[in-house]
Structure 1
Amino acid sequence: MTASASSPAPETSSYDAVIVGGGHNGLVAAAYLARAGRSVLVLERLDHTGGAAVSTRPFAGVDVRLSRYSYLVSLLPEKIVRELGLRFAVRKRSVSSYTPYGASGLLVGGDRERTRASFAALTGSDREFEAWEAFYGRTARAARRIFPTLTEPLPTREGLRTLVDDPETWAMLFEQPLGVAVEKHFADDLVRGVVLTDGLIGTFADAHDPSLLQNRCFLYHVIGGGTGDWDVPVGGMGALTDALADAARAAGATLLTDHEATRIETDGTRAEVTFRTADGEGVVGARHVLVNASPQALAALLGDPAPTPAEGAQLKVNMVLTRLPRLRDRSVDPREAFSGTFHIAEGYGELAAAHAEAAAGRLPTAPPSETYCHSLTDPTILGPEAAARGYQTLTLFGLHAPARLFAADPDGAREALLKATLDQLGARLDEPIADCLARDADGRPCVEAKTPLDLERELRLPGGHIFHRDLSFPYGAEGGGRWGVETDRANVLLCGAGAVRGGGVSGVPGHNAAMAVLEAAAG
């Protein structure tokens, strides 16, 4: 992560743009505006930039850099990487996913014929494989048309529908609950579950939720880069935010850590931002203020009533292993199975049961989750000693774990859910995962778990929601803002994940807020 050893006071009392929050979107906005010749100040309350997109060594004495919160890249446009000249790269995963069942498993990715054979072994025919290819062929065509619009002015709903130019695909993505399409196209429960999971990452919803929350989440998971691929950041997620911070500084932006913005006052033309440091308070003027924080934080800074926070619904677990565990399925190398998405208790029926239990206020009996071993794709995150010992990382993301389940007993519920989740993982292995965990300098197992309440406390994510609020479809409402970042104050913009087309590590809201500022100045 990028840190500042000292945090000097602003060199001037006024800037063209003050950016509140030094997460990746704020850094993208800072780099674009500074490269356009604007004076830019970034105020970050923590002692480092990067927000949730950081790499850390959370286990004492273990030299492994984990992408502690966010961990894969799909929605970051190559346009941003290219235009900002970022020294940052991603690597493709060799396998898309592996889903164990009994003593076998469904392997997707790599060789097409091998994938076909894996589907046939599961279902007894080629039907599900052919349905899979047809279904994701539809989403891929939509992705190629939708993804480039994310860094353009917001299309209207009708404009985006015309661009997609496929009524059936439009209906399954934007109009009907995702469960309708899943059940229409697929017959096998396990295959249905694998498809549905992309609609549930960080989103608490049922397959047939009439709100279409699951559709919005699914859409953003299948359009990234115009392919839907989820790639591994080389050097960990912190490599991206370090590159962004370097680009912003090189362009002339001033980045101050340990500076917490506490108030924004504006008449719509000029603004003043009050900030707090260890030495007291200060005030800086700005023509524009870009808030790279949640809508709740924006409201607090402006003195407005806070919107009702959405609810996060995930368990994030980070582990370091001395070796990969043995699989019950001896036909697949663990290095293949764990290099992609390793699905656990994510059959269609299992997902529905877990959602029903959580909605009733109970921890799921069989918590669904998925794991990834990033060090297989990017061994640079391992220090020399860890690499020599054959250590590997394991990131687990649990579904259907809404914040409400942790309210009464945060620590007890976290430990209970972690145990149940690791038990479900262990049931798909040929040995307990605990036997593979590395130990830190104090002899403790290298495993940490983060609930929505932990994320709310550590990162100020309202309700622990990883997207700041429920995702929106990527089109504008009639009479809404041109870029999806505007607020009811003309010179205050929301450039965080809570903006329209926000969520995930994308830089899209930061880019769009910068474009809105530059357009306003030109107009």
Structure 2
Amino acid sequence: MQNFYDVVIVGGGHNGLVAASYLAGGGLSTLVLEQQGHTGGAAVSQQVFPGVDARLSRYSYLVSLLPDKIVADLGLGLELRSRSVASYTPVRRDGRDLGLMVERPEGTATRASFAALTGSDSEYEAWTSFYNSVSSLAGVVAPTLLGPLPSVAELRKQVDPALWEALVERPFGEVVERLFADDTVRGVVATDAVIGTFAGLHDESLIQNRCFLYHLIGNGTGEWRVPVGGMGAVTDALAGAARRAGASVVVNASVTSVEADGTRGSVTWMGGDGERTVDCSYVLANVAPTTLAALRGQPVTEKPEGSQLKINLLLSRLPQLRSGDDPRRAFAGTFHIDEDYSQLETAYQSAAGGSLPSVPPSEVYCHSLTDPSILSPELVASGHQTLTVFGVHFPTRLFAADNDAARDESVRRVLAGLESYLAEPLDLCIARDADGNPCIEAKTPVDIEESVGMPGGHIFHGDLQWPWAEDDTEAGRWGVETDVANLLICGSGARRGGAVSGIAGHNAAMAVLDLRP
């Protein structure tokens, strides 16, 4: 290994691999250092259950924000498959078990489902009007994500003023309550504002608005697709692209310090051969900003706080629903559990007060219905399916005192919520591993920090930021800069970071290419 590189990238997650592919492809000597024994970070597929040939997307599940341009530029050859259903929400109302079905693309069945739930067409008409407006905003914002930051004034003049005010300037709960009357419909809209973000819908910080925007702007459509082969197929393709471009990738390399003075940098790590230091012109940090601060020897007074419970399950078959709807259709999209608007707010207030939500909102994704390739042929033939559950409003603080006990109780409550909409006990459908144990794995924010190094278990590395310049000093920059010119953020903590997108990696690479002599 050489002693000097043009660029050293700290962290071999998906953003680091995107940056390495562009930089090495641009002729710069590039070194990627990854602490774990494999690349991919949290965007990986793994065999979770002993003796069971199923490779689950363990931490991140779906892809929306990864721009088609990055896929094409890097020749990734990925297949991102559309789901036949956008969402399904089981509802128990007036002694009836119903299901609100949203097709993809929406059709007559969606309208009929809204009418069956609400008794009229008014909620569906409000739904279509709202999301058509959101699409117009996504169409303005999405094309800017791979370029220098546009100014807020530049974007605002391209968007309907009322829409801009509702989504960017006022708490998201206000527009939801104004446009929709039904509690379930309100909740289906609002859930995109709180996935992975601990906030109330009327929070004055507007972090819930930013979360909603990121969920709806991917490639201008906001569609969340299933990566064929699992999330690991995405990062495996990126690792291959980086190596083909000429980047050096070292795993089991635990970085212990980062230095940069504006013109030169150095990175020190511990590996199998002991401590090693290399010098470089640029350092790219594909780690959380608080992690970078610690590596620079700076004080870290407060970590970000994650807010989710992730549960991976393997089922021997899909369970039957109390509504009578076909489970292969209901679970084909995002399956909402106890995510009425009032339930989201009650759960937030409970968690903010330090208590586990008694009725925790969550949502379920069945990857294998859209992409059975993650299961062995034998499991497919026998009807097995995967379920991954994302529990909402489970902040790190709830697990600080006793992570194991809080995890067990959280899983019990979430799965009880799912089972309440089933026509049979969930336990009858849960597969067993080679040791006879139920195929259930759960990860709290504490577990996520321990396993993949995200401070506080925060999946976005911190609060999401608006994807544009908020003042004149930022306009025209890339949103990846730090206080030192040759030290850049290339991970989810960048201004346009968050989720599996590669945007921060691309933009950090472009910033380096702009800066180099």
TM-score past 0.5 threshold: yes
- Residue 308 (structure 1) shift: 2.2
Secondary structure at the aligned position of 2:145 is classed as: helix
Q: Is 2:99 the partner of 1:105?
A: yes
Secondary structure at the aligned position of 1:220 is classed as: helix
After TM superposition, the runs of 4+ consecutive aligned structure 1 residues lying more than 3 A away are none
Q: Is 2:144 the partner of 1:149?
A: yes
Secondary structure at the aligned position of 2:276 is classed as: strand
Alignment of 1:466-477 (within 5 A): 466-477=459-470
The counterpart of 1:395, out of the listed 388, 412, 422, is: 388
Q: Which runs of 5 or more residues in structure 1 are unaligned?
A: 1-10
Secondary structure at the aligned position of 1:316 is classed as: strand
Deviation string 1:250-278 (CA, Å, 9 cap, x unpaired) is 01000000111111222211111111113
Secondary structure at the aligned position of 1:468 is classed as: coil
Alignment of 1:4-83 (within 5 A): 11-83=1-73
Partner of 1:512: 507
Are the equivalent residues in 1 in contact too, given 2:253–2:269 (CA < 8 A)? yes
The counterpart of 2:424, out of the listed 420, 431, 440, is: 431
> Aligned partners of 1:109 and 1:438: how far apart in 2?
29
Partner of 1:140: 135
> Aligned partners of 1:266 and 1:213: how far apart in 2?
31
The counterpart of 1:124, out of the listed 119, 128, 134, is: 119
- Residue 408 (structure 1) shift: 0.9
The counterpart of 1:340, out of the listed 303, 316, 333, is: 333
Are the equivalent residues in 2 in contact too, given 1:296–1:307 (CA < 8 A)? no
Deviation string 1:92-142 (CA, Å, 9 cap, x unpaired) is 000011111121110011451110000000111000000000000001111
Deviation string 1:138-179 (CA, Å, 9 cap, x unpaired) is 01111111011111101111112123x211111111101000
Alignment of 1:48-447 (within 5 A): 48-102=38-92, 103-110=97-104, 111-163=106-158, 165-306=159-300, 308-330=302-324, 332-447=325-440
Are the equivalent residues in 1 in contact too, given 2:312–2:387 (CA < 8 A)? yes
> Aligned partners of 1:200 and 1:212: how far apart in 2?
11
- Residue 314 (structure 1) shift: 0.5
Are the equivalent residues in 1 in contact too, given 2:363–2:390 (CA < 8 A)? yes
1:177 aligned partner, one-letter code: P
- Residue 307 (structure 1) shift: 5.5
> Aligned partners of 1:262 and 1:489: how far apart in 2?
19
Partner of 1:5: none
Secondary structure at the aligned position of 2:84 is classed as: coil
Q: TM-score, normalised by structure 1?
A: 0.96
1:439 aligned partner, one-letter code: R
- Residue 444 (structure 1) shift: 0.3
Q: TM-score, normalised by structure 2?
A: 0.97
Q: Which runs of 5 or more residues in structure 2 are unaligned?
A: none
> Aligned partners of 2:386 and 2:149: how far apart in 1?
39
> Aligned partners of 1:473 and 1:315: how far apart in 2?
25
Are the equivalent residues in 1 in contact too, given 2:314–2:387 (CA < 8 A)? yes
Are the equivalent residues in 1 in contact too, given 2:259–2:266 (CA < 8 A)? yes
> Aligned partners of 2:181 and 2:15: how far apart in 1?
41
Secondary structure at the aligned position of 1:387 is classed as: helix
